[in-house]
Structure 1
């Protein structure tokens, strides 16, 4: 009789050290090559002093957490990645890297956006999901590496995504001129423009979202997003590059045509980023009547449920009112009911890994041995 060998528990300290060590190394590279690796739009949001202090915190935490994991003999190889990354960051100059005034470059990567966004998202949502999560799942659940890769892609390539979106919408928006309607919208206060923009953008997004589910060739792109087998703050990052461009173009186009002011559009963009993470988060909080006013985790989780009766409902990302108008609103009568399982109905149609998933839509409806199940 053979006894089962228990898998060693993963050390949170080791993986946190690895994350912080690598992010610290990326941050130092941003200081060395700001024109190439940092986004001009995002640099306007934070100061150099803020970035240096954040880097210092990351370095100290990477060393401390990695050392603790090594002393406890837990996931030492992972911990060494964190300590090694932080050491290399220090050797490359650490917080003392100096640079001249940042010149103009036509294209740049958003590595700074990736580093800061991942750091603060993990800092907020990992503890929240641990204490308030509906399901007891580890941040290191199956598929988390794939979702981090998607997070990296969408943030680092943010400027190129914006270029593609702008190219696909600016010409059409220029042809569709409604000066009277634009003047009426721009005469409204920014808060009113923002509310109207949220409704119009959500309606456009929901219509396209429903098309993703009902047109086979579009579904192959969208199936990547639905292939996540667990729902948490990181799962919402799993989106095919083609879908990112299509969705952002469809949402931005009506806002450009109707002439919403830049502050209103910027406020909407901030809302998209916050609510997209929140809607996928593993939070079992009871929001009561707010679930009928705003798209919150339980509402969107039912859209991801692996149940036939929920495959064509809850398309809105901001306002359940949009689904009510479309006839696609659905929540269980039991207020404490949550999906038992997530993912596409045919698990074998979506492979694992970001590269294979990006190639999948172009290969027809084939099945895979190494799939998301």
Structure 2
């Protein structure tokens, strides 16, 4: 078994490296751009963690689906033609992805995990792997909920995983390929690059993973003509290095808790000191008149 997915890595290199040289969105970006080593570590270590966690999640979803979804309905869904199941599956999965992805931007605690992904300052296919495991597990888990609970059959599920994986690499890649009118339906590199842009007008936009149509419907789309961003990343102080980024969301919370506790202790100390200065002792004579 290829546990480290070396074949997948080699295939991605063969596909994307030439395309990023021939059709570069940013021609000045180097092949070995800053922090590429971090993202390579993500490729190897995150893959194992996320596969293990999602396998457990899928098992739980299947069991829950057996209890909550009528067997007749699951059989009906699984019996639909492939060409019906696959589009339906993609729509349902991306609605789940869109919803949870948007929550990761709106809820401050969840943003701490998602900020790791937005720390990417040079987008390419390899940078797509820089995702905190908690972020990926929750977001992907939301996508897989309808996939396995509603009874979709194996062939469209396999096709969905194939399309999701390669589109994820593609929309992060440094490739400028126009989709024409389809860009309002299908997520493209331009669409997702604006999601990563460090431009105020693009903040909290373009949440969909596969169907840009969802952002158009929910009013969160930002694609200004054929323009592409000039700055990427986040202003959050996300450190470099896989293990530091893994601990970053928790370290920040602990640091704030320690600071708050220190401030509370200092305030309590001042209060006790003031009480000692101004409190009159029982045997101390009181001022007259």
User: Shorter-chain TM-score category?
Assistant: 0.7 to 0.9
Q: Which residue of 2 aligns with 1:352?
A: 240
Shift of 1:129: 0.5
Q: Which residue of 2 aligns with 1:160?
A: 52
Distance 1:213 1:182 in 2: 33
Q: Which residue of 2 aligns with 1:224?
A: 116
Q: Which residue of 2 aligns with 1:341?
A: 231
Q: Which residue of 2 aligns with 1:124?
A: 15
If asked which structure has higher relative contact order (CA below 8 Å, sep 6+), I would say 2
Indicate whether 1:184 and 2:76 are aligned. yes
Aligned alpha-carbon RMSD (Å):
1.8
CA contact (8 A) 1:164 1:245 kept: no
Q: Which residue of 2 aligns with 1:287?
A: 179
Indicate whether 1:324 and 2:212 are aligned. no
Structure with greater Cα Rg: 2
- Once the two structures are superposed, residues 232-257 of structure 1 have per-residue CA deviations (whole angstroms, 9 ceiling, x without a partner) of 11111001111222122111111222
In the TM superposition, 1:18-57 aligns within 5 A as 38=1
CA contact (8 A) 2:170 2:189 kept: yes
TM-score (norm: length of structure 2): 0.83
| Distance 1:248-1:338 versus aligned 2 partners, 3 A rule | same
| Equivalent pairs, count | 254
Indicate whether 1:364 and 2:252 are aligned. yes
| Distance 1:242-1:168 versus aligned 2 partners, 3 A rule | farther
Shift of 1:161: 3.2
Distance 2:125 2:149 in 1: 32
CA contact (8 A) 1:169 1:249 kept: no
CA contact (8 A) 2:192 2:206 kept: yes
- Once the two structures are superposed, residues 244-281 of structure 1 have per-residue CA deviations (whole angstroms, 9 ceiling, x without a partner) of 22122111111222111111111111111110000000
Distance 2:48 2:173 in 1: 22
Indicate whether 1:133 and 2:21 are aligned. no
Distance 2:129 2:219 in 1: 27
- Once the two structures are superposed, residues 177-220 of structure 1 have per-residue CA deviations (whole angstroms, 9 ceiling, x without a partner) of 23343233223101210000000000000000000000011111
Gaps of 5+ in 1: 1-37, 40-109, 368-373
Shift of 1:327: 1.9
Gaps of 5+ in 2: 257-289
Shift of 1:300: 0.5
CA contact (8 A) 1:232 1:282 kept: yes
TM-score (norm: length of structure 1): 0.65
CA contact (8 A) 2:94 2:211 kept: yes
Query: Secondary structure of 2:34's match?
Result: coil
Q: Which residue of 2 aligns with 1:16?
A: none
Indicate whether 1:273 and 2:165 are aligned. yes
Shift of 1:155: 3.0
CA contact (8 A) 1:306 1:341 kept: yes
Q: Which residue of 1 aligns with 2:207?
A: 315
